[in-house]
Amino acid sequence: MKGSALELAARIRCEVVELDRVVERTQRVWSRAVRSEPDQDLYIESVALNLHGLYSGIERLFELIARRIDRSAPSGETWHRDLLEQMARDQTEARPAVISQASANGLDEFRRFRHLVRNVYTTNLVPEKIAKLMAQLGNVWTRTRAELLAFAEFLEELDRPDSTP
Question: What is the model's pLDDT at position 164?
Answer: 54
pLDDT, one tens digit per residue, over 49-69 is: 999 999 999 999 999 999 999
Question: What is the model's pLDDT at position 163?
Answer: 54
Indicate if the pLDDT at residue 48 is higher than 70.
yes
Q: How confident is the model at residue 151 (pLDDT cuts 50, 70, 90)?
A: very high
Write down the mean pLDDT value for the chain.
91
pTM, 2 dp = 0.91
| Residue 86 main-chain phi, psi, to 5 deg | -60, -40
- Integer Cα distance of 113 and 56 in angstroms: 11
Question: Is residue 19 within 8 Å of 56, Cβ to Cβ?
Answer: no
